[in-house]
Structures are given as structure tokens and as C-alpha cells.
Chain A
Amino acid sequence: MSVSASAEATRLLPRWLLITVTTLLVAMVLIPVLYIVLASLNSDVGVASGEYWPSSFTLDSYTRIWTTADLSTGIVNSLIVCAFTAVASALLGTTTAYVLVRYSFFGRLTILRGLVGLQSIPGTLMLLPVFVLFSSAGNYLGLTVIGTRWGLFVAYLTFALPFSTWVMVTYLRGLPRELEEAARTEGASTVVILWKIIFPLSLPAIVVSGIFAFLLGWNDVLFASVLTRPETHTAAVALQIFGSQQEGGALPVYSQMMAAALICAAPVVLLYLAFQRYLVGGLTAGGVK
């Protein structure tokens, strides 16, 4: 069967319908997305008066946003906290997942079920006790946790760690065990096997699980809005506060806000573009944004 004929067989929709649906969907996505770009190149007055296409283009918003809002501090904080979260959850997740996949022991399935279930637990339920624990560390131990970056890092592990572990479980169970068995008969210890075989073989998956952990932190508003103070605000909280200050003021600086939104989205979009092939698989495996 020729290629074109076999392509013809799998064709599901008539051509006119395919073109119509694709156009509609692409327009639905791109109209708001283009709006971000266009509004960020517009003037603040132009955006506030409801323009879609700017009457004049300017890069002003991108230079002024850094003094209007505390965006640079937010981005630096986000990068630090999320990078630590990513590395910690990817490494610990891989080790934990290896044992979960390769050995059977009492309570194993409960842990696996817990890893999946935890991803659907409301964040508000976790935030409250974390907040109480952190504040009591201040009262009882004299230790300041709330408002610090490492406190936020610990809080992010509640979601990032189970998720990274689950991503690694789905990957490692597809990995053939022959190599490890060969190494074991040669007398290699588990640590050596983990370090010399499992880590190099599953490097792409480890990177993906780290990226997901990074994104969980980067996209979070809930934990950061409670557990940070102005010096430790993350990018998300900086943008949220900046946005909520606009209404009721004299002139809302919406154009600068769109520039800020685009800057906050940029690292995420770049990560996806760079790792698109791997990340899409992870999206459907874990089912978590």
C-alpha cells in the first residue's frame, strides 16, 4: 500500500471540516496570547481604554516595569527556591522510585497509591498545617521559618517530591533489569548500581521530573502568598500583588503588567520549547500541570 493511500485511510475528517476546526481552535488560543504581546508593546493608556491593536508601538513597558514592580527580586527568589526544589525532588525521587519499582515489600502499593493520590489533595489543606508548624517553630524553637526562602522550599517539597517520585516510577518500570542483574553478579553494590547504571540511563527522565518540580514551584501562588514577606516574594506573588493594586488607582499600568506577565511566562515557555518531546509524555503520565 502506498504512503498516500495509507494516509487516506487514517483520515478522520473531511478537508473542509479539518480546516474550519483548526482555524477556530488556533484563533481561540492565539487571540488572547497575541493580546499579551500586543498589550505589552502598547502604552498604559492604550491598554486601559480597551485597544487590541496598539495605536503606537513602544518598548517602554519593558524598561519601566523593573522600577514599577519588584519583579527582579521575585524572579531571583523564584529561581533560587525552584532550583533547589527541582534538584532535591529529582534526586530523592529517583532513589525512592528505584526501590519502589524493583523491590516488593509490605506497604509498597499503599505508597504508590499515595503518590498518585497526593497530587489531587487540595493545596489549601496542606498549607494550613504547614503554616501552623512553621509559625510554631518561631514560637517554640525561636527559629524563623515563615518568610524565608528555605521555608518555602520545604513547603514546595510537599507537592514536588511525590510528583517527581511518580514520574520516575513510571519511567523506571519500563527500564530492563538485565544490566543491573549483570552488574550484581559482578558484585556491584546497590549504591554503585544506582550511581553507575540507573542515574545515567534515566537521565532524561530525571531532568523531566526536575523540570516538573521546578514548574510546580514557579506556578505556585497559594503557598508563596502566605509563606513569604516582601523581600522573599516569588515572581508569581509579585505579579499577583502588582495586579491587584491596579484597580481603584489613578491610572492602571496594564501595559507594564502584561510585560511583567510575559516575563514571568518566558522561563516556562522556554523550558517547554527545549524539552517539548519529553515533557508532553510526562504531562499525560502524571496528569498534573
Chain B
Amino acid sequence: MTTLVRPPASSEAKKEQRRRGVTERQRPLWLLTPGGLLMVVVILIPLVLALWISLIDLDQYTLRRWVEAPFIGLDNFVESFSSGLLNSIWISVSFAVLSTIATVPIGIAAALVTQNKYRGRGLVRAVFLIPYVLPSFVVATVWRTMLQPDGVVNAWLSKVGIEGGLWLTGPRSYWALILVEIWAAWPFIYLMALAALQSVDHEVHEASAVDGAPWWPKLRRVILPYLRGPVLLACLLATLNHINNFTLPFVLFGAPAPEDVNVMPMIVYVTSFQSLRFGLSAAMAVLSLVLIAIPLFIYLRAVRLDVHEEGGRR
């Protein structure tokens, strides 16, 4: 994680700050109002409301007059733990981590094979982007068809003598979800790794070429260390995206989801829009946000927010 450490603010940054002072007096902050006001209305108010809903007893009967719904404190949070949330958290986290771990070698391998120029490389790169470009609901629809009991996957498996079986219900659904997520998500790691690979100085390559080092030690000792920081950052973001992925399990398995793929977004969705227990569901959503906050906080510290500030220091 050494690459995530921020360098101290340079003197140039301070100079920049002073130059900024000239325009300080006539800052057209009113320009923020249309966008800012809209963001307050569509983001801040709902977020605060979500917190409030998690503290009241809101269901289909009280929804009509939700302002008068009874305040019940932390009862919803207590109840969510007895409603299978812990199980969902475990499924979500293990699914997200396994998916991320599996996509890293694929993504890096793809970046390595498209780094050097050759005829047709543009085409290969375009192909690599297809799973990422396709909408999630299309990917899920296609895999849902392929993984049907009589679908093409089982037809092929039986050709090589393996008994197919059910992929979309029961314990195998968990692995089906991971498999499809890996297929759809690896190009993100590939893009980040490729960007990092292209920033490696040509001198580094030349120096190691002069050494006459064979490809594997050269790759491991010289090139891969360059990828560590960017790929770690990509992993963090990819894990967050896996945890938040609603579309894939929803379209792949339908709602309510089989028990083995009852990930957090699914349990929140089903609790609110099928069981109509809005208060309970809000508590679950808030708890899932707490879980996400940890990797999100690390990511926000590491990402470049400003022109002259590496990381989010004030």
C-alpha cells in the first residue's frame, strides 16, 4: 500500500493558492446554485430521509401518512439481524471478495498481452471491452438463458460426460453468480492495469532488456511492482461495485432470490418492495452503507481529488 501515501504539498501548490486569491473576491458561487440545489433536493434530502425511515415503523399501512408513523428508535436495526441480514452480509462480502480476487489475474494478463503493438491489437482490445460495455441486464438475461436446466451450458457439460444440474436455484446459484460477475467485471481491472502499464518508462524496459533477464523474473521484479498501486485501487473500487450490484442477481435469479444468493441489495429490495416493510429495509440499507463505508473511506483517501493534492487532505 506504499503507493497510496501522499507526498507533502509542494511549494508550487502554495504559489497556485496565492494566485487563486486574485479572483477570490469575485467568486461566482451563485453558479453552484442550479446544480447544487438540485443535488441537495435529489441526494441530500433522500439520504437524510433514509436515516429517518430506519428509525420509524413504516410499512404499507403507515406509508400513506408516513410523517405520523411511530418512532421506534433502533428496533428496526435489532430486527434486521434476526431477519437474515448477517447471512446476506456474509454472502455479499464473500461474493465480492472472491469475484475481485478472480478478476485480478485475468485483468492483468489481458493488459500484458495488449501492451505490445501487433497487427489486430485494436480488434483484440475492442473485444476485451465487450463484457464491460454490455448492459448488466443484457448480460444477466443471456446467462440466465444459457444456464437453464436444458440450456447450452448443460448440453455442453453432458457432451464431456458431466452431469449438468440446476444453476439458478440451490447451492450452485452462488457459484453461477460469481462466474457471471467475473465474466462481466474483469475488463475494469484490465483497463486500470493497462493504464498503469503504459505509464512505465521506456528506460525501465530497456534497462532490463540489456540485462538479458528472461521474461518471468523481468515481469515479476520489474514490471508488476508498477501495477501494484493502481491495481489495488481498482480492487477496492471493484469490490465496492460487486457489493452494490443489484441488477445481476435480480435479473439472473428474480426476486425473492434463492437463499444462497440473497445478497444485500436483494434483501433490502425484497424487504421494502415485496414485504413492504420500509422501516426495516431502510435499517438494512443503512447497515450496508456502514459496511461499505470502510473500503469507501480508504478509497477516498487514495483517490486524487484536486489539482495539487494527492488524496483527500484538506
Contacts and interface: CB of A to CB of B under 8 A. Distances in A.
A binds B: yes
Interface of A: 6-14, 17-18, 21-22, 25-26, 28-30, 32-33, 35-36, 39, 47-52, 92-93, 95-96, 98-105, 109, 112-113, 116-118, 120-133, 135-136, 139, 154-155, 157-158, 161-162, 165, 173, 184, 190, 194, 215, 218-222, 225-226, 236, 239-240, 243-244, 247, 252, 254, 257-258, 261-262, 264-265, 268-269, 272, 276, 280, 283-284, 287-289
Interface string B224-252: 00000000001001001101101100110
Nearest to A124: B268
Interface string B211-225: 000010011000100
A227 B242 CA distance: 24
B151 A103 contact: no
B142 interface: yes
B135 A268 contact: yes
Contacts of B265: 122-124, 222
B262 interface: no
B215 to A, nearest CB: 6
14 contacts: A8-B209, A12-B112, A32-B146, A36-B142, A50-B151, A51-B152, A99-B28, A109-B305, A112-B305, A128-B272, A155-B42, A219-B135, A221-B137, A280-B129
Interface string B25-41: 00111011011101100
Given A12-B223, A29-B131, A124-B269, A289 B136 contact: yes
A128 B116 contact: no
> Which 10 residue pairs across A and B have the least CB separation, nearest first?
A50-B155, A96-B35, A129-B49, A129-B46, A9-B209, A125-B285, A92-B35, A190-B28, A124-B268, A219-B135
A170 to B, nearest CB: 9
A261 B142 contact: yes
A13 B142 contact: no
B145 interface: yes
B58 interface: yes
A51 B102 CA distance: 29
Contact of A219 (B152, B247, B278): B247
Contacts of A268: 133-135
A181 to B, nearest CB: 9
A109 B314 CA distance: 7
Interface in B116-160: 116-117, 124, 126-138, 141-146, 148, 150-152, 154-156
Contacts of B128: 25-26, 29
Contacts of A26: 124, 127-128
B23 interface: yes
Contacts of A222: 246-247, 250, 265, 269
Contacts of B23: 102-103, 184
B191 A283 contact: yes
A118 B43 contact: yes
B74 interface: no
B248 to A, nearest CB: 10
B257 interface: no
B129 A272 contact: yes
A118 to B, nearest CB: 7
A160 to B, nearest CB: 10
B97 interface: no
Nearest to B17: A104
Contacts of B65: 139
Contacts of B124: 22, 26
B113 A123 contact: no
Interface string B6-27: 0000000000010010011001
Contacts of A218: 135
Contacts of B42: 130, 154-155, 157-158, 161
Nearest to A9: B209
Given A131-B272, A225-B250, 17 more contacts: A8-B209, A13-B113, A30-B130, A35-B146, A50-B154, A105-B27, A109-B306, A109-B312, A120-B237, A120-B244, A123-B244, A129-B47, A190-B28, A219-B136, A240-B250, A265-B134, A272-B129
A96 B32 contact: yes
Contact of B31 (A93, A99, A116): A99
A196 B136 CA distance: 39
A48 B34 CA distance: 52
Contacts of A35: 142, 146, 152
Nearest to B218: A12
A190 B47 CA distance: 33
A10 to B, nearest CB: 4
B307 interface: yes
A122 B292 contact: yes
Given A8-B209, A139-B64, A265 B135 contact: yes
A2 to B, nearest CB: 13
Given A12-B115, A12-B215, A221-B250, A32 B43 contact: no
A165 B39 CA distance: 11
Contact of B39 (A47, A161, A243): A161
Contacts of B50: 125-126, 128-129
Nearest to A276: B126
Contacts of A215: 135
Contacts of A52: 152, 155-156
A25 B244 contact: no
Contact of A30 (B127, B134, B234): B127
A18 B113 contact: yes
